[in-house]
Amino acid sequence: MSQQNSIEDVLQAYVNAGTLAGAATLVWRDGRVVQTATVGRRDLVTNLPVERGTIFRIASMTKPVTSVAALTLYDEGRFALDEPIARLAPELARLRVLRDPNGPLDQTDAAERPITFGDLLTHRSGLTYGDFHRGPIARACAEALGAAMDNALGPDEWIARLATLPLIDQPGAGFHYGLSTDLLGFLIARLEDAPLSVVLERRIFRPLGMRDTGFIVPRENRTRRAGLCGFDAEGKLTDLPTTPGGNALAERPDDMTFESGGQGLWSTLDDYLAFARLFLGRGEVDGVRVLRPETCAMMASNHLTPDQRLTARMFGMPLFAAGHGYGMGVAVVMEPDKADPLRCRGGVGTVGWPGAYGGWWQADPSDNSVLIFLTHNMLELQQMASGIGLDVWSAIARFHELACA
């Protein structure tokens, strides 16, 4: 059985079992696409099929893109990694830090040092996602900041509100996944005096030919867009009116100025392939240089201390204790035999970072390969805790296994 048929057959079994609406995969190796598969439906209302050009929400797969855009400005000398971000965001010059991440909001200490650009790129700013906590900071984040993607606040108002919230840790002290990349996106937009969408188009999408990637899907392409898909209370596939938590709407208003550099992009297999190849070409794709080779290598190198690797958690689970470190916007394979494929798994230096809606990718310089898996598998946190919708991660692991066989 060919790799093409094997991957397609395995993924079709998840579709037939009702645990996955549909998915698209791609394997690129040594200069060419060697496998693509499309299974199931991209929209549960219209029953239209998943196709190679289907446009998906990629959630946190946005973070590496925003990080690369920021590093293009670093390459131009527009900021230094150890430079305080207060130059661009004076609102954040005097921050407080919770003594206990789940403790009362009035029990804080002054930040011992400013947040730097390097802190944002490595998620060591002390910022967090409110949803990751059970204490008062969860409600405070929700009330102050609003939705994560389709948000009525403008960037300046969002930053001003962020400045009223305490950090959960001292800047530089530890890895805390969260709002760092959203803030980074707004700061590079200020630096360029342009919306983040324009910055990304100018610095990444246009040079790499990523025609179908952006914070909105143009009207003429909306028939290619994947519908919002999740699960009901019984664990059955269903279409959704908004993404979980109301973080994104079925239709984004045209006049919305909030653009989430942490999780707001839509993209396709071929567009994201163009981006992922940067990590195989040392910052260059098909003769187009986006990053200096040394900057790309820096991005794809671990920046966490041994203790920070050991203590990094998400939903109580260790992230980097074995197998991986964290670079700038991407996980990095350090110990291949211990690396969990759900972040990325390959030779030393393999990078990747998944998205909450089931999107996943990796770029492995050791065998010159890119693997990409896109789907819409949108879960509420309580559904995840109940085991609903988790088969997507099994499907990704099987795709990885077969693609690397």
* Alpha helical stretches, state H, 237-345: 269-276, 293-299, 306-311
Q: Tokens 């590496």 map to which residue? A: 64
The model's confidence at residue 19, banded by pLDDT at 50, 70 and 90, is very high
- What whole-number percentage of the chain has pLDDT above 70? 99
Q: What is the pLDDT of residue 5?
A: 73
Q: What is the pLDDT of residue 197?
A: 98
- Whether the pLDDT of residue 286 is over 50: the answer is yes
DSSP state of 105: T
| CB proximity list for 206: less than 8 A, separation 6 or greater | none
* Alpha helical stretches, state H, 76-154: 117-121, 136-145
Q: What is the pLDDT of residue 1?
A: 46
Give me the chain's average pLDDT, please.
Answer: 97
Number of separate helices (H) and strands (E) present in the chain: 13, 17
- Whether the pLDDT of residue 192 is over 90: the answer is yes
Q: What is the pLDDT of residue 185?
A: 98
Q: What is the pLDDT of residue 2?
A: 65
The model's confidence at residue 4, banded by pLDDT at 50, 70 and 90, is low
pTM recorded for the entire structure: 0.98
- β-pairing, 369-374 vs 22-29, is antiparallel
Q: What is the pLDDT of residues 344-355, one digit of tens each?
A: 999 999 999 999
Q: What is the pLDDT of residue 3?
A: 67
Q: What is the pLDDT of residue 315?
A: 85
DSSP 372-389: EEE---B--HHHHHTTTT
**CB contact at 8 A, 124 and 174:** yes
**CB contact at 8 A, 48 and 226:** no
Instruction: Compute the C-alpha angle 32/376/59, nearest 5°.
Output: 80
The model's confidence at residue 318, banded by pLDDT at 50, 70 and 90, is very high
* Helix (H) or strand (E) run with residue 117 in it: helix 117-121
State the Cα–Cα distance between residues 239 and 231, nearest whole angstrom. Answer: 8
Q: Of 24-28, 36-40, 189-193, 250-254, give the lowest mean pLDDT range.
A: 250-254
Q: What is the pLDDT of residues 83-141, one digit of tens each?
A: 999 999 999 999 999 999 999 999 999 999 999 999 999 999 999 999 999 899 999 99
State the Cα–Cα distance between residues 247 and 335, nearest whole angstrom. Answer: 35
